[in-house]
């Protein structure tokens, strides 16, 4: 430890990248800033760390306060701290990312933020601070994770077909997947189960609706 | 942003996990603390962030000051911030990890720290603060990376045989590798080249000595 504790301290914040899949697009929740700097600009939900809370708790709290989103899969992404990233003072931000099912999107109603809105990643507005760098890294991490993990199940609503699940994996990873291999992989994980109901869509033959098994769901969130 | 800037700020530090492979063991560089808390205990090299430096610069500077190690592959690991991790005050630590070639180990001579010493990961002393948690995560990250990346080349001295390289990969990943497949993989990367010299060891037939190609080495460090 090279310096004394009198040394000036930076501010510490968390910023959260919340992904969901809506209308066949990977989407991101943004908050319109009500104050300077970047007043009126879109930014990631986030805020200052309290001295009496762990960093992840801060991220979960800000997610609830600003976006009305609760109980989701939260993972630390990286810490951003370039000297001039905030015009007010030195601010170190610990970034997290979260995935929420498309049918939980309504949760954002609870927000206390000026304005919260979902944007497709392919069509984001200019972002405040270095938030576009944070988003870029989050998208890379998500895309890499999707290809070898069950993280994608976090996106799924209460009931879904295996085609829905494959589409979500393809959208979030940006890769086309082989239908037979994907189904084999998913079912081999034993993390989803049949709901007993089927979905009829247009001329297609009715497709079985699945749900994520509850215990495994908890495992994934852990 | 939920809170005003008057809100008290935590201290921010960096801690660095420096790996090398020595005597067929994955080793870690530790510093013996010269002051309280944990005076006399072993800890990761690290120190406080200056307001005028980026976080990674802080990690590189502390690595040089405390361990005399310079110009190595540095990667952000994760940020540790549990409320009570430092008895003095709230301290958020951004952890990095670095790999250094066994023949650079002498560099640590330049240290300004009370005492610096290499320890095999299999035989670490009790560590100060939550540094054992940081080490555990760094080991997991390294082991995962070794299995699908060229990061391991960072461990290699100026000249090495392909058997040396395979041993380093096996030691750092904790996995046994197939000799033929490993050589095929390494040579296919076109990141190493023959030095033109051979190494004679005991009864074995002389083995070609390789070196990491300079440009690619730079790529890896990037």
Q: How confident is the model over B128-183, as pLDDT tens digits?
A: 999 999 999 999 999 888 876 788 888 998 899 999 999 999 998 888 999 999 99
The domain boundary, picked from A125, A145, A165, lies at: A145
If one compares B219 and B150, the residue with the highest pLDDT of the two is B150
Interatomic CA distance for residues B60 and B72, integer angstroms:
8
Q: Does a structural domain hold residue A5?
A: no
| pTM confidence score | 0.86
Same structural domain for residues B34 and B126?
A: yes
B170 is known as an active-site residue: no
pLDDT above 80 for A222: no
Range of the domain at B47: 11-145
Does the beta-carbon distance from A52 to B1 stay under 8 Å? no
Q: List C-alpha distances in Å: B4 to A26, A89, B97, B135.
A: 33, 12, 34, 35
Do B121 and B21 sit in the same domain of this protein?
yes
Question: For A154-213, what is each residue's pLDDT tens digit?
Answer: 888 889 999 999 999 999 888 899 999 999 999 998 899 999 999 887 777 899 999 998
Contact (CB, 8 A) for A15 and A81: no
Please determine, for residue B215, whether its predicted confidence score (pLDDT) is greater than 70.
Answer: no
B42 to chain A, minimum CA–CA distance in Å?
Answer: 12
Residues 76-135 of A with CB under 8 A from B: 76, 78-79, 81-83, 88-90, 92, 94
Q: Is residue B52 part of a domain?
A: yes
Do A139 and A46 fall into the same domain? yes
pLDDT at A109 over 50: no
Q: Which candidate in B53, B56, B89, B115 is catalytic?
A: B115
B220, pLDDT greater than 50:
no
Domain-embedded: residue B2? no
Q: Tell me whether 0.90 is exceeded by the ipTM.
A: no
Report if residue A220 sits inside a domain: no
What is the three-class DSSP state of B179? helix
Q: Is A24 exposed, middle or buried (0-12, 13-18, 19+ CB in 10 A)?
A: exposed
**Would you say residue A30 lies in a domain?**
yes
Confidence at residue A76, expressed as pLDDT on a 0 to 100 scale: 97
- Is there a single domain that holds both residue A96 and residue A132? yes
Would B140 be classed as within a structural domain? yes
Provide the token pair at B63: 């690595």
Percentage of chain A lying above the pLDDT 70 cut:
88
State the total domains in chain A: 2
Residue that is last in its domain, among B145, B164, B197: B145
The alpha carbon of residue A168 is apart from the nearest alpha carbon of chain B, in Å, by 26
* CATH classification of the domain holding B198: 1.10.10.10
At A218, the pLDDT band (50, 70, 90 cuts) reads very low
The CA distance from A148 to A52, in Å, is 36
Same structural domain, B121 and B163 = no
- CATH number of domain containing A61: 3.90.79.10
Please check whether residue B188 lies inside any domain of the structure.
yes
Work out the minimum CA distance from A158 to partner chain B, whole angstroms.
Answer: 32
Together in a domain, B167 and B94: no
Domain stops at, among B92, B117, B145:
B145
Within this chain, do residues B97 and B157 fall inside the same structural domain, yes or no? no
Q: Are residues B50 and B99 in the same domain?
A: yes
Is B80 part of any domain? Answer: yes
Alpha carbon distance A15, A33 (integer Å): 13
Residues B156 and B107 in one domain: no
- Indicate if B135 and B160 belong to the same structural domain: no
Q: Please indicate, yes or no, whether residues B86 and B193 belong to a single structural domain of this protein.
A: no
Asked if residue A28 and residue A109 are part of one domain, the reply reads yes
How far lies A187's CA from each of A168, A177, A213, B92, in Å? 16, 15, 12, 42
């Amino acid at each position: 430890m090279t310096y004394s504790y009198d040394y000036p301290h930076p501010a510490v914040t968390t910023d959260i990248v919340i992904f969901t899949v809506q209308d066949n697009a990977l989407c991101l929740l943004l908050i319109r800033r009500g104050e300077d700097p970047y007043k009126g600009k879109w930014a990631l939900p986030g805020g200052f760390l309290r001295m009496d809370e762990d960093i992840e708790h801060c991220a979960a709290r800000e997610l609830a306060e600003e976006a009305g989103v609760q109980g989701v899969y939260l993972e630390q992404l990286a810490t951003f701290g370039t000297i001039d990233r905030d015009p007010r003072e030195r601010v170190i931000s610990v970034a997290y990312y979260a995935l929420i099912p498309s049918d939980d999107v309504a949760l954002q109603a609870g927000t206390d933020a000026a304005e919260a809105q979902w944007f497709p990643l392919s069509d984001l507005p200019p972002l405040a601070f270095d938030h576009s760098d944070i988003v870029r890294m989050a998208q890379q991490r998500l895309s890499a994770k999707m290809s070898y993990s069950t993280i994608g199940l976090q996106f799924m609503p209460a009931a879904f077909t295996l085609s829905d699940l494959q589409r979500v994996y393809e959208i979030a990873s940006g890769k086309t997947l082989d239908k037979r291999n994907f189904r084999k992989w998913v079912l081999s994980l034993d993390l989803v189960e049949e709901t007993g109901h089927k979905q009829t869509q247009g001329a297609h033959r009715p497709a079985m609706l699945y749900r994520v098994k509850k215990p495994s769901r908890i495992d994934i969130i852990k």
